[in-house]
Amino acid sequence: MRYHQLQPKNLDFSFHLLNSDNIQTLICLKDLLIKTSQVKGDVVEFGVGRGRSLIILSSLLSYLNSKKKLFIFDSFKGFGNIDFKDNSLRNPQKGEWSKSPDQKYQYNVKFIKKILQIHLHPKNKYPIKFVKGYIETNLPNFKKLNKISFIHCDVDLYLPHKVILENMWSKLSKGGIILFDDIEKGIKSKKFPGAVSAFKEFFKGKKIKIYNLKNRNNIFVKKI
């Protein structure tokens, strides 16, 4: 059966086309998941958006025969409160990323599950634990995460970055990795200054190893 035959009538054919950026994301996530495959702990993604990286994570964990749990944290209502440290020309707004740019699709759990069903081969589907709610209020009270091997952090804003680092760093195993989707090489970002502020504040005085991705303009941190 061809791909277009699987497409429901109310979902655009081009919603998740394979392109250069998606290929780079796949290569990056595969490399980091392999690097942390022998590190104790589960895999966590903060910020699901429209599910692009989640499709890749699910496929890769299945491909690698991983036994790790995959947790996904998102409000599924878009951005929460905007801190003054997030001020930029991008001008983020509360509720942004709750819907597609054309307002056609609501990025809720039901929609993301539908995306996964459409875009994943049955053999590549991986058990996913969805955690719904604003990260800055939900995560401090979440007790089901003990050890973590890999974190994909894509939350754009200051407050969720701050709360993620404050609550997850101690649970990240030695050799574990955090990939920061919103922080560029040189620890900077014109689009997401709040992410940079949270990063610098938390890691000030801490001994960490910062790496630049080979095929993307992002950084990741490995716990030593």
Task: Tell me the domain boundaries of the chain.
Answer: 35-222
Q: What CATH superfamily classification does 35-222 receive?
A: Vaccinia Virus protein VP39 (3.40.50.150)
pLDDT of residue 5: 47
DSSP labels for 67-129? ---EEEEE-SS---PPPGGG-STT---TTTTSB-TTS--B-SHHHHHHHHHHHS-GGG---EE
Its pTM surpasses 0.95: no
pLDDT of residue 85: 97
pLDDT of residue 13: 64
pLDDT tens for the chain, residues 1 to 224: 444 444 555 677 667 888 888 899 999 999 999 999 999 999 999 999 999 999 999 999 999 999 999 999 999 999 999 999 999 999 999 999 999 988 989 999 999 999 999 889 888 889 999 999 999 999 999 999 999 999 999 999 999 999 999 999 999 999 999 999 999 999 999 999 999 999 999 999 998 999 999 888 999 999 99
Say how many C-beta atoms besides its own lie within 10 A of residue 201's C-beta. Answer: 14
pLDDT of residue 12: 77
pLDDT of residue 9: 58
pLDDT of residue 7: 52
Q: Measured between alpha carbons, how far is 57 from 199 in angstroms, rounded to an integer? A: 24
Cα torsion 132, 187, 181, 194 to 10°: value is: 40
In the block, residue with structure tokens 């801490």: 206
